[in-house]
Amino acid sequence: MHRHTIIVRRAVSILLLIAATSSCTDEVSSSDPAPVSWEEFKESSTIRHDGRELYVIEEDLRVGLDELRAHYDAHIAPQPLGVISQASIVNVVNGSDDIWRNGQQLWLTYCVSSEFGDRHQRVVNDMNTATQDWENVASVNFIHLPEHDGNCNVNNPNVLFSVAPWNEPMNLAFFPSSQWFERTVWLNLGLSRTSIGTFRHELGHVLGLRHEHLGVSGCPNDPPGDHATVTPYDRSSVMHYRCGGAGDNRVISPLDAEGASSLYGPRPARPGLHSEYVGCDEGAPDFMLTFYAVRGVWPERFQVEAKRGGSGWSVIHDGPEDQILYRGEDRRTDRIRVRACNWAGCSREMQRSVRADCGTLPQ
């Protein structure tokens, strides 16, 4: 039976899955495997990096030592005769899914470590593409704060998480419920030609999504802990490993988009913006600005800003009206930008320039 696209619940043991490795041999033993001690299990889950011990599950997720121990006690340690180890014996806080809440989902700040060196700009660009792809399908907002790239680590309180390089043979992410000192996306640039698809996958974890392939034959699996199904199983999911005859996709699939939207709310699509010159009044050109939904849900309001010549951006409209009259200045180029907004947030902006010369245009 296939599992579904999964989101982690905010709980102690939810994160705790360790990818098992196996080898094929000609001999098959009929005896039960020897029990795994806590020390053996902990060692197999540990990566030592810069003098620290990191505990990793599912090959690319970081957890704390207490969580690792709780998982061992629940799923790995030998059970007394007659005791059945449940698939999940987790602590779910108020039954809440492990997602960003209370406005934090719209303020997911991050830095990109300058330790990437001459590849720093490439990583910045790839992160920007990957974050925009998630922002296009759900009401989340990632914000790169480049002024903190030179001090990009978990000890910097000005960013929610950091993106940093390392040489371990994997990439590593975290869940929303992770402790502050675990919130780093570690990237090994030598594992792929481009990091855009990798970032889409790892950012899915940052948003709370689990691996899609849990329960699929031929894929790394372990008891999945407490979870909630969001969409049907999706072999094209960006959260699917390359295993079990699936998982070659490194873009956000339609079901990925549906799942993220159901968790964080649908973000309105970037609206259309049409400007029409309607004449000059007392030497100032007037433009009729019309906004419209291109696809998806109809917005509750349009947020419109203007940049008049060399000035900064200022709000000129924020309401349900989809058409307003804008007065510019003779022979001055102004910029107009509009976002479509609803209860879940605002879309990406659409921009246009407006300019008119009242001396040459009909009144």
Q: Is residue 95 part of a domain?
A: yes
pLDDT digit string (tens) for the chain, length 363 residues: 333 444 443 333 333 333 333 333 333 334 445 666 766 677 766 766 666 666 665 554 555 666 666 556 555 665 443 333 222 222 233 457 889 988 899 889 999 999 999 999 999 999 999 999 998 888 888 999 999 999 999 999 999 999 999 888 888 899 898 889 999 999 999 887 678 999 999 999 999 888 776 666 676 665 445 556 778 888 888 888 777 776 677 889 898 998 898 888 877 777 889 999 999 998 999 999 999 877 666 788 999 999 998 899 999 999 999 999 999 999 999 999 999 887 767 887 899 999 999 987 554
Residue that finishes a domain, picked among 264, 284, 315: 264
Split into its structural domains, the chain has a count of 2
The pTM of the full predicted model, rounded to 2 decimals, is: 0.61
Instruction: Give SS3 for 66.
Output: helix
CATH of the domain at 163: 3.40.390.10
Q: Residue type for 327, please? A: R
* Sheet architecture: strand order including 46-49: 46-49, 52-57, 61-63
Range of the domain at 278: 272-354
Residue 50 near residue 40 (C-beta atoms within 8 A): no
In a domain, 362, yes or no: no
CA–chain centroid gap for 71, Å, is 25
**Residue where a domain terminates, one of 229, 264, 299:** 264
* Cα 178–chain centre separation: 14
Find the CATH number of the domain harbouring 346: 2.60.40.10
Q: Is 292 helix (H, G, I), strand (E, B) or coil?
A: strand
Q: Of 264, 289, 314, which marks where a domain is finished?
A: 264
The pLDDT, as a whole number, for residue 32 is 47
Distance between CA atoms of residues 152 and 116, nearest Å: 11
- pLDDT at residue 85, as a whole number: 29
User: Can you tell me the distance from the alpha carbon of 322 to that of 291, in angstroms, rounded to the nearest whole number?
Assistant: 5
Do 108 and 193 sit in the same domain of this protein?
A: yes
Nearest to 178 by CA among 45, 102, 17, 67: 67
Give the C-alpha separation, 172 to 163, whole Å: 10
Say yes or no: 171 and 88 in one domain: yes
Classify residue 198: in a domain, yes or no.
yes
Asked if the structure places residue 81 within a domain, the reply is yes
CA-nearest of 241, 312, 328 to 280 is 328
CA distance 222 to 22: 13
CB 106 within 8 A of CB 345: yes
For 52, list phi and psi in degrees, rounded to 5: -115, 155
Q: Specify whether 342 is located in the same domain as 228.
A: no
Kindly state whether residue 359 falls inside one of the protein's structural domains.
no
Quote the DSSP letter at residue 44.
H
In this structure, are 260 and 276 located in the same domain? no
